[in-house]
Structure 1
Amino acid sequence: MEASGIETGASTIRTGLPSFSRAFNMLVASEAAAGADNSFKNEEDDFFIPSYLENSTYVQKLQEAHKAKVQARDTTRNSTNGFSHGFSHGSTTSFNQHPLPPGSHRGMSHTVIERPPASEVDDDLAPLPARWNKEDQMPGIEVQSNGLDVKHIGPKNQNDRDHEACGIRADHYMPPQCGIYYFEVHILSTKRDDATISIGFSTKIAGLSRPVGWEPESWGYHGDDGRCFTGQNIGRHFGPSYNANDVVGCGVNFKENHAFFTKNGVKIGTAFHDVARGKLYPTISLKKPGDYIRANFGQTPFVYNIDDQMREERDRVHKAIQATDGSTLLAGLSETDLIQNLVLQFLQHDGYVETARAFAEDMVQQKNALNFDSNTEYTCVGLRDDEDANNRQRIRRAILEGDVDRALKYTNAYYPQVLQENEHVYFRLRCRKFIELVRKAAQLNMRNEPNGNKHANNQTMDVDLNGSENTSWETDGSDNATELAELEHSMLEYGQKLQEEYANDPRVEVSRALNEIWALVAYQNPLKEPQVSHLLDRNGRVTVAEELNSAILLSLGKSSRAALETIYAQSSVLLDDLRQDGGEGAFASVSDVLDGIPQPYQN
């Protein structure tokens, strides 16, 4: 069984960012990054993902929100510390030593966040339970420093002696959006053959002075007699009793609306049906001094194989989805024809003219190959030579090749009103040009390093499918040094001009973007710095190209989004709605479909 708790990461602030481009690319890239690092940790934060929730869309959102908060805090820390680390080692690299133009500054150091800051992250995301809540307990028990161990230490006064038990709830409720939530309790110590310990869950309304399950809006499984209770002290026989060294698990299936328990890795069965909707907190109660338990909310592997149970639920939902008849989605088109038309429209919409034409021809060849009627022959669908599509393709290619000036030239020539009417897109293009200047300078800088070589790492030497870096590496050291000095001077002058042009802009997003990109010059080589290297990733080009393409389409009276993107967006929203109460949407996501697509073989 794989480890359930995954504690990742580094002790520094250098946490990875998912790449950020168009809808599909963002999804695939971010999940690939998440797969490589399922949790992370720094000096102030612990974040874990229980193994059975690794594929949960809800938990992936929690992870992104947590990253945003960590990065926002690190941004504040960097702002306080300034750029001291960028100059502290007597670097001989001109990237840091180049004099700044008069009146300029090296800006503020900001961790690159191409997403809303922590304050703007969805506040409806409830964290997973992670520890016992010292503020929600009865006197007489003590929570240990790890937040997971609870020990009954006995009453301190007469009032405490009147309590029938001492209960405590977890710090957060079990999010229904997970579909299934599960935790375990290890009985470390109790009176032999008389375990007066109760394990279950409750709402905030339930009292904690009696065993869990006896109070209204509480559900519990008791160790002394193996009975289960729900809202009253008259229970029913359920399973075996449990004692010291036993591990008891409690799970809630929000889709089926029932709760189950396990003992020592074996599922006992369903204890409660028709569990009330609401905020349900993991809860335990101890009755006698010496009772001692340890909770596991997913930080470490579970004894019970909850991963398989979750996988079975997901498989059931996926089979139901696959069984859906798609032949009636659009009259006159089979499911295959519909999908092919969606792909073709997507290619045309995004300006992939040659690819769209080749795809259309391939569609015709396939149909003719499967056509047994000699009197019928399919011909290529009429892909008219759309000049706007050709123009958009030229603009897109220029951006993807890192040539922002050429993209601006084409845009002003073909669609002069677009940049005037979409100032935010123009600003993004200007920022991207500065990034490309920094990127090229950093690559030349790496070339000049003693151990530099022509085949630097993938981050440095990546080449777009639609173009190249337009960087010639076949030069001697003196030529490189001269070119680097000139490039850095141009870069700093352009950055200063950009800062001055938007210095009085009141928009927060503008100042944030300027601080982020200007922070690049603080580092000896930003391509090697995890804090900022993601800003130099070529996926950023795709983001800008898509924004400009959408603005052009809107100016032409067309939709800014392809039909395939609309379907994707609508499906995601519908699944979000379906998972709110733990329904089928908690066990499915659009990414599941994408993950099931066979990947092309790569040597």
Structure 2
Amino acid sequence: MEVDETCTEEPPLQEMSIEDQFRNRMRKLYPAVDESVTPLPRFWTSHKELSSKLIIQQGTRVEYKGPGSKGYKDAASARTNTEIPAVCGLYYFEITVISKGRDGYIGIGLVAYGDESQQLNAQQGVVRSGYNRLPGWDQDSFGYHGDDGNAFSKSAHGQKYGPIYGSGDVVGCCINMVNRTIFFTKNGSNLGIVFEDVPDKPMYPTVGLQTPGELIEANFGQKPFLFDFESYLADFRRDQIVQIKNFSIDDTDGSFQLKIQAIIANYLNYQGYSKAATAFEEATRTKCAVEAEATKKTRIGIVSCILKGELTEAIARLSADFPNLLENNHELVFQLKFQQLVEIIGGTESEMKNYKETEHSFGMLPASALQDFIDKGRHLREFVLESNSDNESMLKKINQIKKISTLLIDNDPSKSPAADLFEKSRRQKVATAVSAAIRQSQKLSARPKVAVLVNHVRLLHDTLLQRDIPQAAFTLPENFLNE
């Protein structure tokens, strides 16, 4: 009786804007990230005091314009506009070296610092903490440099790591926030993990330049990466799922198996599979609270009506078979009668049979159906205004009624701003609510135990997301439920 997972086709890439393509790609790479809460890095920023050294163009290009005559003192760096959300799990970005300039003193990497570090040291006349340094020279900073191929962390003296890079090369950086490691890539090849035990702090992608003519352009996901990050991410995600599946459960006393059997028996009874439930209970010697057979058949019949869009029939049967159910359940009454309006204005065949005229189509209803829609809409509005709902709930319901009323002037409701009202999942939600209310009236559990467990898992996952736990990127319930 739970919400049906439906798939929607995505428009071809050529029909999508660059922004939509970016969002689409990011959703696939980082499905646990909610950008309204934790936005992803999009463009470079630098300290205003370094504007004479660095020029940032279109947000992703960085060019060195300083003198480059004083060695490391002329270094300058840029970081992204925001930190990497922890719930990415793994995060990756690339730069293309358009020109290595005079000496190719280019560094790519990650740095941990906040806005409080973006200040001038009045006595020394230099920018503090990172902006006038190449990646890896400072505490909590990690870099891979192009002039010597060395990797740097907390020191201006690097360790041997990979090949040098320069004009035309594509270099990438990946941080794994689950096991706290960093690796780099060159021209699509993984150079291997170089930093471990990376501190659990907010990290920003960063790039540093030092000599005239150095020019790079970043790819934060605006276009496909040269390194096959999607496959790397999929492999890691698969390993995490296997680890969860193989988690050992101590069931020496058989109690876990008994719980699973009870859940299955409960579900079979809830769904009305009486013969299967009886056979399963006999085979496993499982006992669970049983719904009266007559009540179960009636409940499932009403639910079936709702799922088929027969709301008038469902409401009539509820009133006849459970006369007291709707008396004080204003929320359920609203859901039923609002869905009834949806089925009428949508020209659902099962609803149209209640009217004399036979000719109708989606968006072109017979006069009696239109008049009935208007009458029922007015009555529902009066019902809401007379209920004892709080102001916020009442306003929300009134706005829903206004929304569906706009369909009266649409020739094709399926293409209107209110088209989401016709999603079949809405029927499922109403059916679930009705089924739960009937069961509760019989002093039985409102939902099957398996649905409660699924909701519990989703709540736990939401808690992981709210606390920015990196593992949340690989423990999405859908990864297991949709296999």
On whether the aligned pair clears a TM of 0.5, the verdict is yes
Paired with 1:201 and 1:478, the residues of 2 have a C-alpha distance of: 63
User: What is the aligned partner in structure 1 of residue 460 from structure 2?
Assistant: 574
2:124 counterpart residue number: none
Per the alignment, residue 107 of structure 2 pairs with 198
In the other structure, the counterpart of 2:480 is 593
Match of 1:559 in 2: 445
Q: Report how far residue 396 of structure 1 moved.
A: 1.6
- Residues in 2 aligned to 1:387 and 1:308: alpha-carbon distance in whole angstroms: 53
Q: Are positions 1:324 and 2:247 aligned together? A: yes
Opposite residue 285 of structure 1, the aligned amino acid is G
- Cα distance per residue 1:529-571 (max 9 Å; x no partner): 1532231233211111212322333444433332101211222
- CA 1:184 to 1:474, structure 2 compared with 1: closer, same or farther past 3 Å? farther
Q: Is the 8 A contact 2:3 2:429 kept in 1?
A: no
Structure 2 residue aligned with 1:490:
372
Identify which of 5, 11, 32 aligns with 1:58. Answer: 32
Deviation at 1:414, TM superposition (A): 4.2
What TM-score do the two structures reach when normalised by structure 1? 0.67
The one of 251, 254, 262 aligned to 2:177 = 254
Which runs of no fewer than 5 residues in structure 2 stay unpaired?
Answer: 118-128
Q: TM-score, normalised by structure 2?
A: 0.82
User: 1:148-547 alignment to 2 at 5 Å?
Assistant: 148-154=60-66, 164-191=74-101, 194-203=103-112, 204=114, 205=117, 206-325=129-248, 328=251, 331=254, 334=257, 339=260, 341-349=262-270, 352-353=271-272, 356-360=273-277, 363=280, 385-440=292-347, 471=353, 484-502=366-384, 506-507=391-392, 508-527=395-414, 529=415, 531-547=417-433
Deviates more, 1:47-56 or 1:474-483: 474-483
- Determine the C-alpha separation between the residues in 2 that align with 1:481 and 1:51: 36
Where does structure 1 lack aligned partners over 5 or more consecutive residues? 1-21, 66-124, 369-377, 444-460, 462-467, 597-603
Tell me how far 1:189 sits from its aligned partner.
Answer: 0.9
Q: Counterpart of 1:436 in structure 2: which amino acid?
A: E
Retained in 1: the 8 A contact 2:407–2:416? no
* % same residue: 26
1:549 is aligned to 435
Distance apart, 1:520 and its partner CA: 2.0
| Superposition deviation, residue 575 in structure 1 | 3.8
Q: CA deviation at 1:240?
A: 1.7
Query: Can you list the C-alpha shifts for 1:452-500, whole angstroms capped at 9, x where unaligned?
Result: xxxxxxxxx8xxxxxx667599997599999712211221232233334
> Which segment drifts farther, 427-436 or 510-519?
510-519
- The answer to whether residue 22 in structure 2 is matched with residue 48 in structure 1 is yes
Give the Cα separation in 1 of the matches to 2:440 and 2:360. 48
Bigger Cα displacement from structure 2, 136-145 vs 227-236? 136-145
Shift in Å at residue 283 of structure 1?
0.8
* Root mean square deviation of aligned Cα: 4.0
How many residues are treated as equivalent by the alignment? Answer: 462
Cα gap change, 1:473 to 1:521, in 2 (>3 Å): closer
- 1:131 is matched by which residue type in structure 2? F
Q: State the shift of 1:229 in Å.
A: 1.8
- Cα–Cα, structure 1 residues 524 and 50, in superposed 2: closer, same or farther, change >3 Å? closer
Can you list the C-alpha shifts for 1:180-224, whole angstroms capped at 9, x where unaligned? 1011110011225x2111111112244311112223332111111
Aligned equivalents of 2:27 and 2:366: distance in 1? 48
Residue from 45, 50, 57 that aligns with 1:133:
45
SS in 1 for 2:218: strand
